[in-house]
Every structure is written in C-alpha cells, then in structure tokens.
Amino acid sequence: MTTPETAWQPFREPLRATLTRTVAIAIVVALIVSQSMHAPGLLPLLALLFLWPSFGGHWVDLSFLNWLRPRLSSSRPLQVAARLLVWFAGGTALAVGMLLTLIAYLATVGGQAGASSSWAKWWIPGVAFICIELVAHAALQLRGRPSFFDGQG
C-alpha cells in the first residue's frame, strides 16, 4: 500500500522487451481469431489490428503509471477509479484506431466496411479493455509481480 509520503517509481522497460511481448500477443490473438474464422489469409490484417490493444494498451497503462498516478492523491480508491477511467478511455480510443485502420485497409483493397455503426455500443471497447487489463494484472499478481491488485503496479 502507498502512503502520502510514497514517491511513485516510474515504470521502465526496454523498448525491445515491450515490442517482443506486444507483437507476440498481437500475432497469437490474430492466429487464434483467423483460425476460428477459417480465414488464415486475414492473419496479417488481424495482427495489425490487434497491435492497437497490445502495443497501444501498453502506452495507455504507462501514461497512467508515469504521468497521472504521481499527480494524484495516493488514496487507494482514487487511484483505482482513475486507473479504471484511463483504461476505459484508452480502450475506447484504441478501438477507434482499430476501426480507422480497418477502414484504411478496406479502402486500399476496394472493400467496404460491413460493420454496423451503432453509437449505442460505443462503451463496449472501453469495458472490454478494462477486462483485458484486469486479466493481465491478475497474471502479474499470480507471478508475484507488482499489479493493479496490490496497488504497486
């Protein structure tokens, strides 16, 4: 637990480690999705799309850890609420990036976007990103590493 006197340590990781992990995640998820769709030809596009939540998600969390967290009170409820809000907003923004990437790809191959543009579901990617982050932080917690759950990571 943190106290008001606690100085947050910035999170640092070599870019190579970040790229290795996030690209591997994007490729594995793309492989699973392309196989489940019986469309192995979509693997490169899906990998590109899944880089948004894997690589982009790393930077969303890093922005909380290294920029916002040190500027907030060390109150645990405030820290939790702020992080969930950052994850929600970040997940929503990353979904917009995925959508724009898909639109750009379809424009280059002469395809049309078949996705429904219902604004009533705008919040779903934000909630999904929170769930993804909670699972990732549960894995960190199980490995004895700092995580969202212990208030240290």
Alpha helices in the chain (DSSP H): 15-36, 43-51, 57-63, 76-109, 124-142
Q: CA 85, CA 87: separation in Å to the nearest integer?
A: 5
Confidence (pTM): 0.88
For the chain, domain boundaries:
15-142
Q: What is the pLDDT of residues 106-152, one digit of tens each?
A: 888 877 665 556 667 889 999 999 999 999 999 999 999 999 999 88
Q: How far is CA 33 from CA 11, 27, 41, 116, in A?
A: 31, 10, 11, 20
Contact 91, 127 (CB under 8 A): yes
Q: What sign for the dihedral angle of Cα 105, 17, 95, 28? A: positive
Res 23: pLDDT:
98
